[in-house]
Amino acid sequence: MKIVVLGAGAWGTALAISAAAHAACHEVTLWARDAQQAQAMQAKRQNQRYLPGLAFPPGLHVASGDMAALAADADLVVVGTPMAALRGMLERLDGCAAPIAWLCKGFEAGTGLMAHEVCAQVAPRLHSGVFSGPSFAQEVATAQPTAMVAASPRATVRDALVLAFHGPALRVYASEDIVGVEVGGAVKNVLAIATGLCDGLQLGMNARAALITRGLAEMTRLGLALGARPETFMGLSGLGDLVLTATGDLSRNRRVGLLLAEGRTLAQAVESLGHVAEGVYSARTVVQRARALGVEMPIAECVVALLDGELRAAEAVARLMEREPTVERH
């Protein structure tokens, strides 16, 4: 296969490495917006900024320039940009005949739309989907065992992702429930901030378990209101991605919560990461979408109040614990 990965951040680079190392000997091009960055990666055969020390396989080529021309000649296009850049990327890809899948997780700021809804607005002709699940870029790039989900209503997109990435180190499961997979990917980032806050305040394992469990209930409620399938949230892109992001030391969103618990400002926390933490940018849109649907998401609401400076760390925890008793249900 000819595979083009658009975006040379950690995630795009990791999946480009994975595809290029595949037993099928795919021809992989990693596209970078910055021509100098592309030249440096091609010359040094690694992405020193995002995945230093990880050598590129021989089948991985780095390019810049006209990405639409690269995509026109591909069998699969993977968009590895943050959610904020997705709309512009899809507009430029409109008319591309190859299956297209994005990696970003979140709701678009301003509109509150999920990625597939953005695509339906700006490039409805594309055969598109999402590639998601519990996965850290560094572990995928070093071929540690990982399972992900290829979600799309179109079998051609699901099949292309399986053919491109499924192998001994990366198992790919197919799903038609693109709504559920995208909701899981967006909401788990917000919940991971809350769990990082819990861990940073040293509230204990009981509190962490409660947050993850009730967070899963919030995620499921929102997903069902948007038309997702309930079983999706007990799978890789629901519970799996939530557990990984809420507890893993490589989680940027969890790290934001930890830093806020230390007393850092949001600006200081984000600056120290050096990478995008999608939960910071999608928390407000997640809550706005939930409010519009009449869905209760108290944990996500507290995260937004914390990010907006309306609550301090300890106050956010107190607000959750002071809620009236209720029956456990989704």
| Active-site option among 2, 44, 105, 188 | 188
Element holding 289 (H helix, E strand) = helix 278-293
Tokens of 264: 């850092």
CA distance 165 to 182: 19
Distance CA 162, CA 40 (A): 31
Q: Is 44 a catalytic residue?
A: no
Distance CA(241)–CA(132), nearest Å, equals 9
Question: Could you identify the residue written with the tokens 């519990």?
Answer: 134
- What's the gap between Cα 206 and its chain centre? 27
Per DSSP, helices labelled H in 109-166 are: 115-122, 137-141, 155-165
The helix, strand and coil proportions of the chain, stated in percent and rounded to the nearest 5, come to 55, 10, 35
CA distance 266 to 283: 13
Cβ neighbours of residue 32 closer than 8 Å, sequence gap 6 or more: 7, 8, 38, 41, 62, 63, 64
Tokens of 259: 């830093």
Separation CA 85–CA 83 (nearest Å): 5
Nearest C-alpha neighbor of 228 from the set 162, 274, 182, 171: 182
Residue whose pair of structure tokens reads 């959610």 in the numeric block: 83
- Helix, strand, or coil (residue 225): helix
Q: How far apart are CA 139 and CA 104, in angstroms?
A: 17
- What is d(CA 94, CA 125) in angstroms, rounded to the nearest whole number? 7
- 124 vs 138: CA distance, rounded Å: 33
Let me know: does 100 contact 93? Beta carbons within 8 Å: yes
Please list the active-site residues: 188
